[in-house]
Structure 1
Amino acid sequence: MEEQSPKEALTALHRNLSSVILGKSETMKLLLVALICRGHVLLEDVPGLGKTTLARALATSLNVDFKRLQCTPDLLPSDITGVNIFSQEEHAFRFIPGPVFTNILVADEINRATPRSQSALLEAMAEGQVSLERETHALPDPFLVIATQNPIEFSGTYPLPEAQMDRFFMRISLGYPEHEDEVRIMRSQRNGHPLEAIQPVMSAEQLQSWQRYAERITLSDTIMDYIARIVRATRDFPGIRLGASPRGSLALMRAARAMALLSGEKEVTPERVQQVAPSVLLHRLVFKDASLATPQDQARVLERLMEEVAVPDNPSADATA
């Protein structure tokens, strides 16, 4: 069997997801970018748009474990990370892993969990491990958290602080389907669910190799300068009270590399930076105007900002891997 190129392998994965979540090709690409970058995703959408179905399709396509965690106000940190219980037979404490010990975890309605439980999940996301009573337990690899929240329902919720929002690599949204796509969704589920037909197209080991491959995509000093100028502009732009941190610069750099890999390109271009910038940066910004509450309004501000940042004329001039 002929060895696949990165683009061929990732296109097959993208095709699998797009067969289940119809009409959202660009969103599927952004999810794969986060997966390649070992980042976690905040998925903001109203209920019923297929968020859990998307995660199941991804887990099946990679042939890895999947778990779903329903976040509620009575959720305890130990309900996420696991607990030590005393075994009468072994006369010792034994660790019982929580749902975070999986490859793909959907944390449904994360803003309904208390800050203490949110912190336990975010710590596991950041560290890739769980520490309990002086013992450290490594999480599986790959490990992807897709945390969901309803962007319009705030009663009885605990909004994530800005510092914790920054822990998510990307914020994406599926949004309502177009009319034609909604008809296609009904047709595809008239006699079953397309998820039942999904077959694995990539192993966890292959995914890890493409994750390493993405780190070798050529990135010029000119492109890094362009990324830095975009991020610095968020700190001075009128209407933005708090701009992105250097973590945002690094995330934008990695995301642009992964998008270049998905596109079958050998080096990062300004177009790839622009393609991923809204999903990487918007949730890291704090806006002065309270009326800019929706991602669409915020995206227009970022669009105006990026129009004022000069695009490199010759981004490959000083390219290095």
Structure 2
Amino acid sequence: MSIDMAPRTVATLTGEPILEIRDLAVDYGYGADPVHALRGVSLTLHRGEVLGIAGESGCGKSTLVYAATRLLPPPGIIVGGEVRYHDPDGAGPVDILRMPDRDLRAARWQDTAIVFQGAMNSLNPVYRIGRQIVDAIAAHRPHTSRAERLERARELLVMVGIDADRVRSFPHELSGGMRQRVMIAMALALEPRVLILDEPTTALDVVMQRQILEQIMELRDRLGFAVIFITHDVSLLVEVADHIAIMYAGEIVEEADARDVYRRPRHPYSHGLLHSFPPLHGPRRPLAGIPGSPPDLQALPTGCPFHSRCPAALPECATVHPELGPTALLEPGRRVACLLHDGEHELPEILTG
């Protein structure tokens, strides 16, 4: 294959930061009474890492990544923060939020790429899928010939488990799982260093979900890109993510190694999410769920936004807003936004595992 793209393997990974989100704040709406959809969110994605972001619908997961990549549609407004991309081949980190439009267009697909939720809505229904992949390559590799681009499109389809002859198919001629694989192929066309997956398996059956997840992880190991995986299903992240951030009401309330979140959730909301689906192994247990509904982002309650639904809420939770930080146990790599972990309160049984 003659298109100039140097392969990257998992052996080249260093664990260095590749994307840093710092104090990102987003509002929806104009005027004196906007909806504060994100409030000071900070995250770090390392090279080769799979970072999972989980939470209920409306907690700000998709808003976070669309704002970080400057794909946020109106009336969304970025009101603060920075998103620093560390280019291993560049002179230093650049702030995506302040990049000139020309540089931003060049960076998309090449540095960062997104697989959206609805593949049928993301693919153009009147163009063959081969043409759509070829057009993306041509925009960034104009020196290549059409034959080279078409060959690359065929290789990409084979890479994601689709017959190369499908380059001549229209989107409506493919199943839902195949369309989602085409979107993954398009996202990987220029071998980006960061791949963002916005609930890529939501509309698929469990068998197809498994196949696509295994495909993504195999490609990650082979090509060495980092992944931000967004989903409301924490059980998926437990299997594929290295690190998990739990979001609630536009904030991160817990962040830790995936195994630690699964075995020892420290925030009552994380515990509720994990106990909202049946265990795959071991004895059966009742599903606890989370009572109530997420708060209105336009009229957030004082104190901790989760306190009205929290089974372990303290009296001060209604007035004191907890900051995201280390627990009193100083567990490495873990941050929690909960007053229960200040070292002055006895932890409830659900958080002492």
TM-score interval w.r.t. the shorter chain?
Answer: 0.3 to 0.5
TM-score under structure 2 length normalisation: 0.35
User: Higher RCO, 1 or 2 (CA under 8 Å, sep at least 6)?
Assistant: 1
Which has the larger strand fraction? 2
Which has the larger helix fraction? 1
TM-score under structure 1 length normalisation: 0.38
